[in-house]
């Protein structure tokens, strides 16, 4: 799906131009490889010289995000800069924009990093969100619970506060645990909506407002982290149509150029709720290497380079399965016997067992059969595949 304006863009990058990348997300390496394949030079700014993306870059700038002199030198070397992280300080984006072009700008960062601003943005577009209230002390929590009921989630307004720590409140006895969190700042108390379906829509928006909208992806989460994604999803066509309409409305009203992700969930009574908008190249979006006629990296680079976006078309049904460090030893048998599984691994030295160290992409004739196949390995025995493959074709 694509919405098109035909007026030519005034700024176009050609092969040989330099694209700067800032943000140490795992997908930055794939972005750099695609940029080089398109003929661009790439400069990378990072604090970690061992970062995989840093190793791939043509030009390397090492330093903290507080070093304005180094940031200026980096910016002046680049024809355009892109960030690939939702944690970048908008002030850094504004600073870099003084020395070179940064098409993504800071609007989406300002929205999504502050949950109240994000909710105000959704409210302005009449987009459905989980009921919420703002709390600054323990009494506010009790009053909020009286309004929105149990269960509820206490979330910091600033997404990076206390490393994003949240509190799930199932009953009155859980509220006392909120006192320590509230000392750190203002929070949002949000109703927890029971649901069985989570979806993501990847969107690319260019400088003229044209939008390329990728096919809807269904997600499986474990401990707040996407472990599995597949498309086509189990979804009512009218629900999918409404999700795409909402995605298009959000994209239309953003001052943003590039690829971003919108996540949704569907309540048990069929109500669609927007969960989050994130300005990054997403884990779920990796599925489009096989599931569409283009991918999120290509479209992002086209958008920031002033090139026309692709008319996105669905391709092969595909399942994406993440590999955590805890899974790594056990997938070695699959590495040998699964001729139709496509493995990719990251150079990540973290010892955390839940760190994602790679992904498996599985183009397939049947999503349900592939989910059964993944489950039958018993590698990911902590993930609920059963409720998904019983309902998809």
Establish if 51 belongs to a structural domain. yes
Domain that holds residue 251: 195-389
Please provide the DSSP assignment of 53-97 as one string: HHHH-SEEEE--TT-HHHHHHHHHH-SEEEE--TTS-HHHHHHHT
Given 191, 221, 236, which residue is the final one in a domain? Answer: 191
Residue 289's closest CA among 392, 204, 212, 362?
A: 362
Mean predicted confidence (pLDDT) in 124-153: 92
What's the pLDDT at 186? 85
> Is the preceding omega at residue 252 within 30 degrees of 0, hence cis?
no
Percent of the chain beyond pLDDT 90? 76
Mean predicted confidence (pLDDT) in 270-274: 95
pLDDT of 306 higher than 70 = yes
> Tokens 């692709």 identify what position?
310
- Assess whether 277 and 385 both reside in one domain: yes
Mean predicted confidence (pLDDT) in 349-373: 91
Establish if 99 belongs to a structural domain. yes
Establish if 122 belongs to a structural domain. no
pLDDT of 5 higher than 50 = no
Mean predicted confidence (pLDDT) in 30-35: 96
Reported confidence tier of residue 176, pLDDT bands at 50, 70, 90: confident
pLDDT of 9 higher than 80 = no
Establish if 151 belongs to a structural domain. yes
Residue 300's closest CA among 218, 207, 363?
A: 207
pLDDT of 281 higher than 50 = yes
Residue 164's closest CA among 90, 94, 239, 223?
A: 223
- Assess whether 348 and 281 both reside in one domain: yes
- Assess whether 164 and 139 both reside in one domain: yes
Establish if 19 belongs to a structural domain. yes
Q: Which residues on adjacent β-strands are paired with residue 314?
A: 292
- Assess whether 218 and 317 both reside in one domain: yes
Residue 213's closest CA among 202, 224, 221?
A: 202
- Assess whether 146 and 217 both reside in one domain: no
CA distance 75 to 83: 12
- Assess whether 57 and 173 both reside in one domain: no
49-58, 163-172, 186-195, 196-205: least confident range: 163-172
Establish if 307 belongs to a structural domain. yes
Residue 95's closest CA among 119, 124, 123, 73?
A: 73
Predicted structure pTM score: 0.92
Whether 228 and 321 have beta carbons less than 8 Å apart is answered as yes
Q: How many domains does the chain have?
A: 3
Question: How many other C-beta atoms can be found within 10 angstroms of the C-beta atom of residue 386?
Answer: 11
Residue 228's closest CA among 237, 215, 219?
A: 219
pLDDT of 129 higher than 50 = yes
What's the pLDDT at 7? 40
Q: Which residues contact 374 (CB under 8 A, 6 or more apart)?
A: 228, 319, 321, 362, 380, 385
What's the pLDDT at 91? 96
CATH of the domain at 172: 3.30.1490.20
- Assess whether 381 and 260 both reside in one domain: yes
CA distance 393 to 91: 47
- Assess whether 278 and 176 both reside in one domain: no
What's the pLDDT at 1? 41
Given 160, 191, 222, which residue is the final one in a domain? Answer: 191
Task: Tell me the CA end-to-end span of the chain in Å, nearest whole number.
Answer: 23
User: For 224-244, how does the pLDDT look when each residue is reduced to its tens digit (9 = 90+)?
Assistant: 889 999 999 999 999 999 999
Stronger pLDDT, 9 or 387, i.e. the higher one: 387
pLDDT of 6 higher than 80 = no
Question: How many other C-beta atoms can be found within 10 angstroms of the C-beta atom of residue 89?
Answer: 14
What's the pLDDT at 178? 83
Q: Which residues contact 303 (CB under 8 A, 6 or more apart)?
A: 103, 204, 205, 206, 207, 257, 258, 259, 309
The per-residue pLDDT of the chain, averaged, comes to 91
Mean predicted confidence (pLDDT) in 308-316: 97
User: For 34-79, how does the pLDDT look when each residue is reduced to its tens digit (9 = 90+)?
Assistant: 999 999 999 999 998 888 999 999 999 999 999 999 999 999 999 9
Whether 154 and 134 have beta carbons less than 8 Å apart is answered as no
Question: How many other C-beta atoms can be found within 10 angstroms of the C-beta atom of residue 116?
Answer: 13
């Amino acid at each position: 799906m694509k919405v098109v304006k035909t007026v030519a863009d005034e700024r176009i990058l050609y092969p040989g131009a330099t694209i700067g990348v800032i943000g140490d997300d795992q997908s930055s390496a794939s972005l750099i490889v695609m940029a080089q394949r398109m003929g661009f030079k790439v400069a990378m700014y990072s604090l970690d010289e061992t970062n995989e993306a840093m190793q791939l870059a043509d030009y390397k700038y090492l330093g903290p995000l507080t070093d304005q002199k180094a940031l200026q030198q980096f910016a002046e070397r680049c024809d355009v800069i892109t960030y690939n992280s939702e944690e970048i300080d908008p002030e850094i984006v504004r600073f870099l924009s003084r020395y070179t072009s940064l098409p993504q700008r800071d609007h989406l960062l300002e929205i999504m990093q502050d949950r109240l601003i994000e909710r105000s943005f959704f409210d302005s577009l009449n987009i459905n969100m989980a009921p919420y209230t703002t709390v600054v002390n323990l009494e506010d929590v009790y009053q909020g619970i009286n309004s929105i009921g149990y269960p509820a989630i206490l979330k910091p307004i600033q997404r990076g506060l206390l490393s994003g720590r949240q509190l799930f409140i199932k009953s009155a006895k859980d509220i006392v645990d909120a006192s320590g969190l509230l000392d750190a700042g203002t929070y949002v108390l949000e109703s927890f909506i029971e649901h069985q379906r989570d979806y993501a829509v990847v969107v690319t928006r260019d400088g003229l407002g044209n939008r390329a909208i990728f096919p809807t992806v269904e997600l499986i989460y474990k401990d707040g982290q996407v472990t599995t994604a597949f498309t086509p999803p189990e979804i009512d066509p009218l629900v999918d149509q409404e999700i795409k309409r909402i995605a298009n409305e959000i994209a239309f009203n953003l001052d943003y150029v590039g690829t971003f992700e919108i996540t949704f969930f569907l309540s048990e009574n069929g109500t669609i709720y927007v969960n989050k908008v994130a300005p990054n190249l997403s884990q779920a979006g990796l599925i489009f290497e096989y599931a569409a006629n283009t991918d999120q990296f290509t479209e992002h680079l086209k958008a920031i380079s002033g090139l026309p976006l692709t008319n996105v078309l669905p391709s092969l049904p595909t399942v994406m399965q993440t590999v955590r460090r805890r899974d790594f030893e056990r997938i070695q048998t699959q590495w040998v016997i699964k001729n139709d599984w496509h493995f990719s691994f990251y150079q990540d030295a973290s010892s955390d067992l839940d760190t994602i160290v790679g992904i498996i992409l599985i183009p397939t004739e049947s999503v349900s059969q592939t989910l059964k196949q993944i489950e039958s390995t018993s590698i990911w025995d902590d993930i609920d595949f059963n409720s998904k493959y019983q309902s998809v074709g």
